[in-house]
Amino acid sequence: MKNILLIPLILFILNGNSQTTAIPDPAFEQALINLGWDSLPIDGQVLTSNINNITVLDVSSSFINDLTGIEDFTDLGILRFTNNQISNLDLSQNDSLYRIMGGNNQLTCLNLKNGKNINLNLIWLLNNPNLTCIDVDDSLYSQNNWNNTVFFKFD
């Protein structure tokens, strides 16, 4: 009887320690595999424990369309995603960010409203000709303080 009760307990403990983050874009998951933070096969998920302590992520030139899952990179300070096909990006859960480099994408909307915009010291978004929406914590603060840190190109 003790063995029968022990098996479900072990399975519960193992399952509780293996939370995953959904990574629906196969190209994003492949980039994480290439960086050693995930493993084959591409299955649309990564162990959250493999990504939540990453401080620098560079997935440039990886043919990525969607960075869904980025919200679980809780310690992320530097994000570089240049030369991809990303159109919308929500970084509202990434409150450790201080550098964002996302030039040469298809961005139309970027959500930076994370309560810590004061920490951002570089935002490079050149060559995103359709970028018309950037959500921030305080637009007046951003206009007054990001003159030398933000690089946009609006057509």
Q: Which residues of 92-108 are buried (b: 16+ CB within 10 A; e: fewer)?
A: eebeebbbbbbbbbebe
Q: What is the pLDDT of residue 17?
A: 56
CB 96, CB 75: distance < 8 Å: yes
Give the tens place of pLDDT for each residue, 92-131: 999 999 999 999 999 999 999 999 999 998 999 999 999 9
- Please, what is the end-to-end C-alpha distance for the chain in angstroms? 72
Tell me the β-bridge partners of 124: 101, 151
Give the pLDDT band of residue 14 (cuts 50, 70, 90). Answer: very low
Q: Which residues of 71-85 are buried (b: 16+ CB within 10 A; e: fewer)?
A: ebbeebebbbbbbbe
Give the tens place of pLDDT for each residue, 57-77: 999 999 999 999 999 999 999
Whole-prediction pTM value? Answer: 0.85
Rounded Cα distance, 91 and 77, in Å:
11
